[in-house]
C-alpha cells in the first residue's frame, strides 16, 4: 500500500524521506499552490466575501505532478507546517486533489526527527477548518486593504506605493519614533566619581570607561553584570549618590557651577567607609526562545535581520546534510509563541549537562517556564535543538558561518534553561565625607557560575577591596563628567519586533515579512548601525493614513483585529462577519476620501527656486522616492533638481560632463530611484539604459594601490565599497570604510554597529570607539 506524503518544501521532503520506507512517496508543493489572483481583487464583496482562488501559472506543473502522484497512491497524508499557513496549504491541496476536508488525513510535528515523524503517522487527524478560516480571514483582510488602499495612494501621492493592514502600522511606529528624535531637546547634567584608597596607597588611575561600554584596551565592558567600577586590592572608584541624606537623581546636578561648588565642598574633607553590605544572590537563565525572542537576540547579538534569522532557522528546521547521517533537522519549528520543552528534551539536556559540565550543574528537577502569550498552545514547543547532545562544535564543519552562529545561540539558550542558577556575591560599599556627601561602589563576584558556564562573556567579575565599617580612606581624585540626555534610539530589528509584539501588531509568523515589506517598498532605510529611518514618502503616506484612515493604522484597532483572528482560530468567531464589520465602514470612508483629497495639496509645496532652463517657478514635489524640485511648466519643461545637496552636486557634475548614452547616443541625465540617484538615458522609455553613479570614499584601494574605493549598490540595493578598477581589481567591502587603517595589520578600518570601528580583516580583532582618534589616516595631508 503506497502513501503520498505532501510537504511544502523540497528540503523538508528530503529530510522526511529517510525516515519512511518504500511504502511512502514524499513530494513537495513548493509553498502555496492555490491563492487569490494577482491581477484582480479576487474577493466577491457583494456575496459574503467569497474568495476566488486559482492555481497560479508557475504552480500548474507542480499541481499536475501532485495529481499524477496521488493517482498512483492508495492514501494521501498532508504534512505541511503546523501553523495556520501550513493548515491552509493542506486545505488548498486537498481541494486540488478532490479530497473533502473531513476525509483528509493531516499529520503534524514540531521537529523533523524519526520519533516525531513516526508519532505523527500513528496519529493522523482531520484538517482543522478553524485554523483555515483564520488564515483565510487574514488573507482576505490584507487583500481588501492592499488592493483598495494602494491604488488610492497611487492616485493621491505617487505611483508604486503600497499600504497594508500591518505594514502601515509598522511604518507609523518608525515615523513617530523619528519625530520623537527630532523633537528631542537634550538636557545637560553632571556626575562625579571619586577614586578612594587606603591612606597608605599610592595613586591608582582607573581604566576609563566610555559611554559605549568600551574600555581603553578596546574590549567590551561586562554590561550584563552591570559593572561600572574599577578597583584593585587597595583602591576603588565610587559615584556620588547623595548629599546630606538627599538622594541625587540622574538630572539633579545640571550645571558646571553646581559641580564646582561640590568640588569646593569636598576639597579638604575626610572620608570613611560608612557601610559595607554583602548579599548573596542567584541569577536564573532566560526562558527558551519563542519566535519573537529569537529574532530579538539574533539581531542584538549576531546582527541578523529578522528576515535573515527566519531564513536561517528554516534551513536548520528543514534539514542540513551531516555527512553520513544525511539530511538532519537540527531545531524545532521556528514559528511559535510557546516556551514549553518536551519531557524527552528535558531528560536529554540533563544528561548532556552532566556529561559535559558535571553533576553540580544539573537540576534535581526540570525547570518549567510558563507561557505568557494567551495564543501559545500547550502542545507547541519553544525553539530548541532537536537533540541536546548535538553540540554546536560537533556539527560546525557541516554548517556555514551564519547557520552555526544561529544554532549555537539556540542550543546555548535551550540547554542553559536546565542548568543550575549562577550564585553571586553582590557587594555595596558606601563612603561618606565629613560634610555628609555619600559615594557608592558596587561590586560582584561569582561564587558558582552555573548556567553562565555557557555564556563566559557574561560571567566577568568586578572586584572591590576588602574594607570595614568606619575605615578611613583617602580621596586621590575627584572626576566630574558632563553628560547630555539622549533621544530615544531608532528602531532596530530587535526593538521593532519587541514593539510590534507589545502592541499586539502581527503574530510570530508576520514580524519578519512585515519588516522586509516596508523596507522593500522604500518606506524605510537602514543606517550604518542597521537601524531604521523613515524616508520622505513614509511621512506623507503615514500622515495621510493617520488623518483620513485612522482605523487602518490605529494600534489598538490593529491589535483587536489580530485578537479576532485568534478567536476565529479557536472557533469562537466566524470569519465572514469579522470581515464584514471591517469592510463596510472602510469602503464608505475610502469613497468619501477619493472625492475630498487633492493630490496637489498633499504632494506640492512652493519654493523660491527658478528653473535655470526656462526661468519659471519651481515647486517642491513628492514622488515615490522622496522630495525634489520640478519646473511648473511641465510637461513643456522637464527640469528637475534634487533637494539633497550631495545629489544636487552630482546633478551639476552630470550636466557638465554631458555624458552620452553608449546605446543610443542621447544625453544621460540624473534620475532618482529607490536606492538613490543613478544615471538614466534621456531617451527613456525607448532606451532603458542606466548606470550607477560612483561615490568616491577619498581612499585608495589597499589591494592594487591604483584604483579609488567607491560606493556601489548590489542588485538588491545594498551598498558596498569596492575598487573602481573592477574587474581588474576585485577588492570589496560590505561595511563603510572610515578612511583610516588598522594600526595592527594596516587593513582599512570600517564602521560597525553600536558606534564601534573595527578592522575589515576577518583575521584581525582590532576595535575602537568612534571617539578615539585614529592612529593612521588614509590621507596624511588631511592631518
Residues carrying an active site annotation: 333
Instruction: Output the nine-digit C-alpha cell for 633.
Output: 511648466
- Count of beta carbons in the 10 Å neighbourhood of residue 654: 18
What's the CA gap between 67 and 618, in Å, rounded?
62
- Of the candidates 139, 19, 133, which has an alpha carbon nearest to the alpha carbon of residue 79? 19
What's the CA gap between 439 and 431, in Å, rounded?
5
What string of H, E and C letters represents the secondary structure of 674-718?
CCEEEEEECCCCCCCCEECCCEEEEEECCCCCCCEEEEEECCCCC
**E strands present in 371-516:** 422-433, 437-448, 472-484
Instruction: Output the nine-digit C-alpha cell for 145.
Output: 486593504
Contact between 631 and 653 (Cβ < 8 Å): no
DSSP H helices in 527-616 = 536-548, 550-553, 555-569, 575-596, 599-603
DSSP H helices in 473-520 = 493-503, 511-520
What does the longest C-alpha to C-alpha distance in the chain come to?
96
Q: Interior CA angle at 397 toward 394 and 398, to 5°?
A: 100
**E strands present in 23-131:** 24-28, 34-35, 43-44, 50-51, 54-55, 75-78, 105-106
Total residue length of the chain: 783
Find residue 660's DSSP bridge partners. 667
Reported as half-sphere exposure (CB side, CA atoms, 13 A), residue 374 has a value of 8
- β-pairing, 676-681 vs 732-733, is unpaired
- Of the candidates 691, 689, 780, which has an alpha carbon nearest to the alpha carbon of residue 741? 780
For residue 393, the SS3 value is helix
Q: Where is 274: in which H helix or E strand?
A: strand 271-283
Find residue 215's DSSP bridge partners. 209
- Of the candidates 215, 226, 192, which has an alpha carbon nearest to the alpha carbon of residue 426? 226
- Of the candidates 112, 108, 102, which has an alpha carbon nearest to the alpha carbon of residue 15? 112
Reported as half-sphere exposure (CB side, CA atoms, 13 A), residue 686 has a value of 7
Contact between 81 and 332 (Cβ < 8 Å): no
Q: Where is 653: in which H helix or E strand?
A: helix 645-657
Q: How far is the CA of 773 from the CAs of 479, 508, 629, 768, 776, in angstroms?
A: 22, 43, 40, 9, 9
What's the CA gap between 705 and 394, in Å, rounded?
42
Find residue 672's DSSP bridge partners. 677
**E strands present in 79-127:** 105-106
List the helix and strand counts (H, then E) for the chain.
Answer: 20, 34
Q: How far is the CA of 36 from the CAs of 41, 57, 58, in angstroms?
A: 8, 12, 14
Find residue 532's DSSP bridge partners. 526
DSSP letter for 6, please.
Answer: E
Q: How far is the CA of 16 from the CAs of 72, 328, 405, in angstroms?
A: 20, 9, 25
Reported as half-sphere exposure (CB side, CA atoms, 13 A), residue 460 has a value of 15
For residue 83, the SS3 value is coil
What's the CA gap between 688 and 263, in Å, rounded?
70
Question: 485 φ, ψ to 5°?
Answer: -60, 150
For residue 731, the SS3 value is coil
What's the CA gap between 409 and 456, in Å, rounded?
13
Amino acid at each position: 500500500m503506497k502513501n503520498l506524503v505532501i510537504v511544502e518544501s523540497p528540503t523538508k521532503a528530503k529530510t522526511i524521506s529517510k525516515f519512511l520506507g518504500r511504502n511512502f512517496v514524499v513530494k513537495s508543493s513548493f509553498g502555496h499552490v492555490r491563492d487569490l489572483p494577482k491581477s484582480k481583487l479576487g474577493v466577491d464583496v457583494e456575496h459574503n466575501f467569497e474568495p476566488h482562488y486559482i492555481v497560479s501559472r508557475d504552480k500548474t506543473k507542480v499541481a499536475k505532478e501532485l495529481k499524477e502522484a496521488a493517482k498512483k497512491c492508495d492514501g494521501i497524508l498532508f504534512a505541511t507546517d503546523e501553523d495556520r499557513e501550513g493548515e491552509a496549504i493542506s486545505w488548498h491541496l486537498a481541494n486540488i486533489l478532490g479530497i473533502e476536508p473531513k476525509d483528509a488525513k493531516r499529520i503534524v510535528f514540531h521537529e523533523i526527527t524519526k520519533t516525531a515523524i513516526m508519532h505523527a503517522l500513528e496519529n493522523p487527524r482531520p484538517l482543522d477548518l478553524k485554523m483555515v478560516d483564520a488564515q483565510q480571514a487574514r488573507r482576505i483582510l490584507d487583500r481588501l486593504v492592499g488592493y483598495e488602499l494602494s491604488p488610492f495612494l497611487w492616485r493621491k501621492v505617487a505611483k508604486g506605493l503600497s499600504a497594508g493592514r500591518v505594514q502601515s502600522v509598522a511604518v507609523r511606529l518608525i515615523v513617530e519614533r523619528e519625530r520623537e528624535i527630532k523633537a528631542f531637546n537634550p538636557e545637560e547634567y553632571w556626575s562625579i566619581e571619586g577614586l578612594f584608597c587606603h591612606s597608605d596607597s599610592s595613586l591608582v588611575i582607573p581604566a576609563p570607561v566610555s559611554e559605549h561600554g568600551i574600555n581603553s584596551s578596546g574590549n567590551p565592558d561586562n554590561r550584563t553584570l552591570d559593572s561600572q567600577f574599577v578597583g584593585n586590592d587597595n583602591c576603588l572608584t565610587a559615584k556620588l549618590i547623595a548629599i546630606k541624606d538627599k538622594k541625587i537623581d540622574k538630572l539633579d546636578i545640571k550645571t558646571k557651577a553646581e559641580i564646582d561648588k561640590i568640588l569646593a565642598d569636598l576639597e579638604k574633607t575626610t572620608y570613611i567607609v560608612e557601610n559595607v553590605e554583602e548579599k548573596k544572590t542567584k541569577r536564573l537563565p532566560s526562558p527558551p526562545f519563542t519566535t519573537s525572542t529569537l529574532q530579538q537576540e539574533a539581531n542584538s547579538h549576531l546582527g541578523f535581520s529578522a528576515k535573515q534569522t527566519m531564513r536561517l532557522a528554516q534551513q536548520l528546521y528543514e534539514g542540513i546534510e551531516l555527512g553520513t547521517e544525511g539530511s538532519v533537522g537540527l531545531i524545532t519549528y521556528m514559528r511559535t509563541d510557546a516556551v514549553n520543552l518536551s519531557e524527552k528534551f528535558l531528560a536529554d539536556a540533563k544528561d548532556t549537562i552532566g556529561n559535559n559540565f558535571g553533576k553540580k550543574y544539573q537540576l534535581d528537577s526540570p525547570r518549567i517556564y510558563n507561557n505568557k502569550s494567551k495564543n501559545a498552545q500547550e502542545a507547541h514547543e519553544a525553539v530548541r535543538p532537536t537533540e541536546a547532545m548535538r553540540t554546536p562544535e560537533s556539527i560546525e564543519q557541516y554548517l556555514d558561518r551564519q547557520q552555526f552562529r544561529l544554532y549555537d545561540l539556540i542550543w546555548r539558550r535551550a540547554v542553559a534553561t536546565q542548568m543550575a542558577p549562577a550564585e553571586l556575591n553582590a557587594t555595596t560599599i558606601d563612603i561618606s565625607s565629613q560634610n555628609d556627601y555619600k559615594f557608592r561602589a558596587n561590586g560582584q563576584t561569582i561564587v558558582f557560575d552555573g548556567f553562565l558556564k555557557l555564556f563566559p562573556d557574561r560571567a566577568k567579575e568586578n572586584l572591590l577591596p576588602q574594607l570595614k565599617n568606619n575605615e578611613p580612606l583617602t580621596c586621590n581624585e575627584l572626576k566630574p563628567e558632563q553628560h547630555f540626555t539622549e533621544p530615544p534610539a531608532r528602531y532596530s530589528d530587535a526593538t521593532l519586533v519587541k514593539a510590534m509584539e507589545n502592541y499586539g501588531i502581527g503574530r510570530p509568523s508576520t514580524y519578519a515579512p512585515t519588516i522586509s515589506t516596508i523596507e522593500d517598498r522604500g518606506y524605510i532605510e537602514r543606517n550604518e548601525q542597521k537601524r531604521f529611518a523613515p524616508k520622505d514618502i513614509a511621512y506623507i503616506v503615514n500622515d495621510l493614513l493617520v488623518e483620513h484612515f485612522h482605523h487602518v493604522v490605529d494600534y489598538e484597532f490593529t491589535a483587536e483585529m489580530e485578537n479576532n483572528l485568534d478567536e476565529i482560530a479557536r472557533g469562537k468567531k466566524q470569519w465572514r462577519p469579522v470581515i464584514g464589520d471591517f469592510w463596510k465602514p472602510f469602503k464608505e470612508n475610502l469613497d468619501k476620501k477619493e472625492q475630498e483629497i487633492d493630490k496637489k495639496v498633499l504632494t506640492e509645496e512652493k519654493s523660491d527656486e527658478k528653473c535655470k532652463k526656462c526661468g519659471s517657478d519651481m515647486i517642491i514635489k513628492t514622488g515615490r522616492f522622496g522630495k525634489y524640485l520640478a519646473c511648473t511648466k511641465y510637461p513643456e519643461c522637464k527640469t528637475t533638481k534634487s533637494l539633497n545637496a550631495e545629489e544636487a552636486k552630482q546633478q551639476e557634475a552630470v550636466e557638465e560632463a554631458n555624458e552620452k548614452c553608449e546605446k543610443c547616443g542621447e544625453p544621460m541625465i540624473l534620475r532618482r530611484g529607490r536606492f538613490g540617484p543613478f544615471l538614466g538615458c534621456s531617451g527613456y522609455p525607448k532606451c532603458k539604459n542606466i548606470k550607477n553613479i560612483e561615490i568616491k570614499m577619498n581612499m585608495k584601494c589597499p589591494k592594487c594601490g591604483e584604483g579609488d574605493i567607491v560606493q556601489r549598490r548590489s542588485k538588491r540595493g545594498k551598498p558596498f565599497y569596492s575598487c573602481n578598477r573592477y574587474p581588474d581589481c576585485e577588492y570589496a567591502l560590505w561595511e563603510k570604510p572610515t578612511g583610516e587603517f588598522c594600526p595592527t595589520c594596516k587593513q582599512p578600518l570600517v564602521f560597525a554597529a553600536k558606534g564601534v570601528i573595527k578592522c575589515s580583516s576577518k583575521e584581525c580583532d582590532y576595535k575602537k570607539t568612534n571617539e578615539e582618534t585614529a592612529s593612521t589616516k588614509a590621507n596624511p595631508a588631511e592631518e
